[in-house]
Structure 1
Amino acid sequence: MSSENFVSNSLSRKQFQNILELFQDSDRKLGDDRNQIKIVQFEGRKLVVKSFKIPNAINRIVYRFFRKSKAERSYLNALYLKSRNLGTPEPLAYLEEIGPARFHQSYYVSEFVEHDFTFRELAADDTIKNKKEILKAFTQFIYQLHEANVYFLDNSPGNTLILISGNEYKFYLVDLNRMKFYDIPVKDRLKNFERLSPQKWMFDIMGAEYARLSQLDPEETINTMWNHVQAFQDHFQNKKKWKKRLKKIS
């Protein structure tokens, strides 16, 4: 017999159930992810609902007894970011469906943040203006994240929303379930940029700005960042090659 663990800072259990019903009916999907992410309209608010994929057999036991679920971590990490004035959509609630010996499924609900583009579009879209200024502002945001002892493991191009507000740029992190919290050394800080882009010019800007903020040598900072990027790209490309070979064999 299964039970539910429901935690919320603003929604009742009945409201959450109504949101889940809207989620099932919604065809407004966000991204192409192994988890289901959809936008729903509820009581005049635009919300994002994330339904996490049911874990494999081993992780169903791990999440039941030994580790927080992805939904719970998303919620708690968002609260941590908000408490330190770091941009992320407002967390509203999460729900876990659990059995006596197994974890089943989990959901996370947050506010939808209106934004102009993501970091991925910033890298790919040549029509976006003031890229240098945006990259410098983004670097300042990541520096503030690191100063708050937050290492964002999924610091990839689709996980930062960017809003242009007058002459300012605002950044919001999403997909928050994988974070570490510790006093981050410089080598880890510079490695944290490795997933963002394979374009060198972007790291010339971000590396120089991070060096300025951290009082580091600019050339050494840029080179270190770029070495991490190249190592990540090599690993990523090799992984793709092995997947293609395995598909051919199977």
Structure 2
Amino acid sequence: MVSVFMSSSAARGPIIDFAASESCLEINGLSLAYGDKPALRDLTLRVPRQRVTAFIGPSGCGKSTLLRAFNRLHDLNEEVVRCGEIRLEGQDIHAPEVEVAELRRRVGMVFQAPNPFPMSIYDNVAFGLRLQGELRRRQMDDSVEWALRSAALWEEVKDRLRTSAWALSGGQQQRLVIARTLAVQPEVLLLDEPASALDPISTLKIEELIGNLKSRLSLVLVTHNMQQAARVSDFTAFLEQGELVEYGPTQTLFTHPRLARTENYITGRMT
């Protein structure tokens, strides 16, 4: 059951409260700073399983920072100070027994700019599989084909799997990176503005792919494109200055936002 409740601060607006059994990620009182510069401030929310959740907000509001927190990419920065809790399927991702490599397999991430490795299309997709252990050649071939089909790329590349990934178009490279991530079968896919550098046709293919994938896994999308958020997401969270302002079903948030701050942002009256 999904319910809406008011947070302790009325300025934050409504927050969606998914039952724990319906949530893949739970964020409880999360704050994060780069040294003495706050980036996230006391965030509490739950991300539903097998849905698309979009984070929107002005540049510098903490959207990408939050996305990176979900698979502990901030561990690489010694200046980052964090408090609060993130749970993946009920387990604290910062617990001592959690292996970061396994966490990043379960919570895959695709960045704004496509970043295929300097190797063949086939080897890009097989990369993570090989790190996990040896597979028989037929098993590897089947897994690579499955991932490329899942990323809606197989028909375009099946006859040139041994050619360089860098020979692909920008949109194809981004779908290849998604295939590489899907190959290791994550539970959550994080997408940090995955279509912002792409042409409209490639953007449409990425959006169609997002819609197709949510029947298999949970997706979290950061986007500056309000139309894109409205088209592809089921739920939307609006962040401003590191705080959660409003969170709700996408259609409701875009057509009947509860707060003037949210309405001003989605209608372009603030940047």
Q: Same fold (TM over 0.5)?
A: no
Q: TM-score range by the shorter chain?
A: under 0.3
TM-score by length of 2: 0.24
Which structure has the larger Rg over C-alpha atoms?
A: 1
| Structure with more contact order per residue of length (Cα contacts < 8 Å, sep ≥ 6) | 2
Structure showing the higher strand proportion among its residues: 2
